[in-house]
Structure 1
Amino acid sequence: MKKRIISPLIPEHQPLVIAGPCSAETEEQVLETAKALKQDQRVNVFRAGVWKPRTRPGSFEGNGSKALPWLQRVKTEVGLPVAIEVANVKHVYEALKAGIDILWIGARTSANPFAVQEIAEALAGVDIPVLVKNPVNPDVALWLGALERLEKKGIKDLGAIHRGVSQFEKSTLRNKPAWQMAIKFREEVPTIPIINDPSHITGNRELIGSIAQTALDLNFDGLMIETHPNPDEAWSDASQQVTPEQLSCILDQLIIRTDETPYTVQKNIDELRNSINYIDDQILELLQFRMNVALNIARFKKENNMTIFQAERWNELLLKNKAKGEKLGLTPTFVSKVYRTIHQESIDNQGKIFSDVINV
C-alpha cells in the first residue's frame, strides 16, 4: 500500500524535514528563523510552539493566539507551510481560523483519549494533515487509538511522530527512544508515515544527529528538529535546539538509505536473510524441545511435591548464561531479557501441568 504523503513538498527519496523553534517567542525570532531555514531547500515545513503547557507552572508557556499572525507571515512572506501543536478544541478553532497548514497532537494529549476525541470531533470534515506524537508512556495501542479517532472523523492525511517515552532513571537522553514501539507501530499501520523527533529524545543538541541517523536507518519518513537562531537564549528547551546552520550540517551528514536495491545487492542480502531464516527455524525447534523438557520437569516436581519455582536454580542458570553470553559477544542485558522470557513461558507451562489444564 502506498503511504499517505503529509506534504507535497517532500522531494523524492528524501525525508520530510520539519524545523523551527520550540516556542514562538517574538515575531522577529519567528521570521528570522523561518528566513534562515528557507535557505536550505531540504526544510519542508516550519514548526513553532504557540501554546506551551509546561511540566510545572512558572516557566514560559507560549504566547498563545498572539503568535498566530507571526506564522501567517511565515506562510506569506517566507513561503513555508506552518505547523503547530494543539491540545484542545479552542486551539483547533484558532489554528484553523489562522490558516495553519499542519496540526500535531502532543505526547501528553495523545495519552488522553477524552482530549483526542474532542479534538477529532472539532476537526470533523476538515481537510488538514494531523500528526500524532506517541504518548509519554510506551503504549502502542493508545498511540494507534488516537489516530483511529481522527480517522473515524474523516481525517485522511495522518502521520505519527515518534518522540520516545518518559523515563525515571537519569540518562544521557531526555527520553528513552523505545525504537521497538515505533517498529511495532509500523507493523500495525504501514501506510501511515512516521516522523522522528530527535530533539525531544535527546534533550541535547550534540546527540541529535546520531538519533536522526538511526531513525532514517529504520526507514522513518521524516524528522522534526527544533531550530532557533540563538539556542542558548531560547525561552524553552534551550539545550535541545540547534541553529539553522547546525541543522544544515546535521542534514549534510545524514546518510539517506533506500529500500530499492540493485539486483546483485538484493541477491546478496537475500542469501543472508535465508541464513537468518534457517537459524530462526533452528531456534524455534530448540525452544520447543526445551519446553517439552520443562514439562517433564514439571511432572517430576508435581509427583515429588516440589514447588514450580526454584529460586536457587533460576539464579544459577541466569548467572551462568549471562557470563557465557558475554564471552560470545552478547550483552548481559540482552541475555537476561531472552532468558527471563523463556523462563516465564516455562513457569506458565509448568503451572498448567500442576493444575491439570494440559496433559501432554
Structure 2
Amino acid sequence: MKNKKEFRNWLNGYNSDHPLVIAGPCSAETEDQVIRIAHQLRNSDATVMRAGIWKPRTRPGNFEGVGALGLKWLQRAKNETGMKIAIEVANPYHVELALQHEIDILWIGARSTVSPFIVQEIANACKGIDNPVLIKNPINPDLALWLGAVERFHMAGVNNLGVIHRGFSTFEKTRYRNIPEWQIPIDLQSRFPDLPIFLDPSHIAGRRDLIFDLCQIGLDLNFDGLIIESHYDPDNAWSDAAQQITPDMLIQYLNYLKLRKEIGQDKVYQKGLNKLRTEIDILDNQLIDTLSKRMKISKKIENIKTNENFGILHSERCWKKTIEKIIVEKEQPNLNEEFILRVFEAIHQKPINQHSQEVAI
C-alpha cells in the first residue's frame, strides 16, 4: 500500500481546508432535477456532486436509474457549476461510459464489493486511471473482504483510492437502516491510516433526522469526508426519499458540525484524543444496547419458567459454573476476576429485583 502522504494527495485537488463533502440526489431523475440541484449545492461547502445513474435495487420493478442518458445531464451540471461529479459503477461498461463523460470520481457499491469477481472486473477496467475510486464496505461486516477490494484496485494500478463506510445489513430491527458497526472502520483506520475514509450517513441512517449526529461522529473519528444524499424535494424523490435532505438543510448541517480543533495547542494530540473519546462513546452505547438485549432475553426465560411453575433463579451451583466459564474463556489483561464478578452479579441481580417489585405490586 502507498504511504499516507501519497494516498491523501488526491484530496488536495478537491478540498484541503476541511473534510471533502460529496452531495446530491440518490438518483438522477430528470435533466431539470439534476441541474437544479447542482446549482443549489454550489452554494454549500459541497465540492463534488453525486447522483445514481444505475441503481441496483433489491427487488425488480423499482426504479433502477435512467442509465447512460443521465451522464449527459451530469456533464452539463459540471460545466455550468464547476462542481466535480461522482457516480457508482458496477461493471466495466459503466466505467467506460463514465470516463467518456468526464466523471471525476467513481465509487463501488456495497453489493459489488461482496464479490471479488465483480471487483476484479471493475478494477481491470480502471487499470491505471487517475480518477479517484472509492470503495464502499460490503453489505456484510467483513473487514478482510473490504480491504481485499481495495487491494485489487491498487494492484491494477489505481493509486487514488479511498473507502466509504455506509453501514452493514442486519436482520435485527434497529433505529438504523444499516447498522454502523463503528469498530470495523475504526480497525480499518488503525491498520491503514494512509487510506482516506468517507462516511455515508444517508445509507446508515435510512432517515434524515439521524444524519447530523452520524456526520458528527464521523468527523470526531477523523473521517476525511462525507457523502450525503440531497434533493430539493426529498419526500417525492424517486428512490430512498426518507434519507435525503434538502440543499438548504445540508448547508445548515455543515455550518453546525464541529471539527473539534479548537482546544489545545497541539492539534494532532487533541485530534487523537477526541477520536479515542468518540470510540469510548460508541462502545458505551454498544454496551448499553447489549445489556438491554440480554435483559429482554432474561425476561423471556422468566416468563417461560413462571408459566411452567418453576423458580426463576439459577441454582447457586449453576450460576457459579457460568461465571467461572466466562472468567476462564474470556480472560483479558485489562479485566481482573473481581471486576468481572461484580459486573455479572449486578447483571444477575437486576431481573431478580425487577421480579420482586412486580410480585409486590
Q: TM-score range by the shorter chain?
A: 0.7 to 0.9
How far residue 7 of structure 1 moved from its aligned partner, in angstroms, is: 3.7
Deviations 1:236-275 (A, max 9, x none): 00000000001111111100124994159959x99xx9xx
- Paired position in structure 2 for 1:15: 19
Q: Which amino acid aligns with 2:126?
A: L
Change (3 A) 1:152 1:90: same
Hey, what does 1:221 align to over in structure 2? 224
Which stretch shows the higher mean deviation, 203-212 or 254-263? 254-263
Which amino acid letter does the alignment assign opposite residue 31 of structure 1?
I
Structure 2 SS opposite 1:225: strand
Separation of aligned partners in 1, 2:150 and 2:262: 26
SS in 1 for 2:58: coil
In structure 1, distance between residues paired with 2:137 and 2:242? 22
Q: 3-state SS of the aligned residue for 1:176?
A: coil
**Conserved in 2, the CA contact under 8 Å of 1:48 and 1:83?**
yes
Pick the aligned partner of 1:107 from 110, 119, 125. Answer: 110
Task: Show the counterpart of 1:202.
Answer: 205
Alpha-carbon distance in structure 2 between the residues aligned to 1:10 and 1:106: 22
Whether 1:57 aligns to 2:60 is: yes
Gaps of 5+ in 2: 277-316, 327-339, 352-361
Structure-to-structure mapping, 1:233-252, within 5 angstroms: 233-252=236-255
C-alpha deviation, 1:125, in angstroms: 2.2
* 1:46 alignment partner, one of 44, 49, 57: 49
> Partner of 1:209: helix, strand, or coil?
helix
**Residue 167 of structure 1, CA deviation:** 1.0
- Distance in structure 2 (CA, Å) of the matches to 1:320 and 1:203: 39
Q: 1:77 aligns with which of 75, 80, 91?
A: 80
Shift of 1:311: 5.9
Superposed CA RMSD in Å reads 2.7
Q: 1:25 aligns with which of 15, 25, 29?
A: 29
TM-aligned CA deviation for residue 323 of structure 1? 5.1
Counterpart of 1:89? 92
Structure 1 runs of 4+ with >6 Å offset: none
* Structure 1 unmatched ranges of 5 or more: 274-309, 333-360
Count of residue correspondences: 289
TM-score (norm 1): 0.75
Q: Helix, strand or coil for the counterpart of 1:168?
A: coil
Normalising by structure 2, we get a TM-score of 0.74
* 2:107 alignment partner, SS class: strand
Q: Aligned-pair distance for 1:89?
A: 1.1
Q: Does the CA contact (< 8 Å) of 2:261 and 2:267 recur in 1?
A: no
State the secondary structure of the residue aligned to 1:18: strand
Matches within 5 A, 1:341-360: none
CA distance in 2, matches of 1:202, 1:132: 19
% identical equivalent positions: 51
| Matches of 1:210 and 1:231, distance apart in 2 | 19
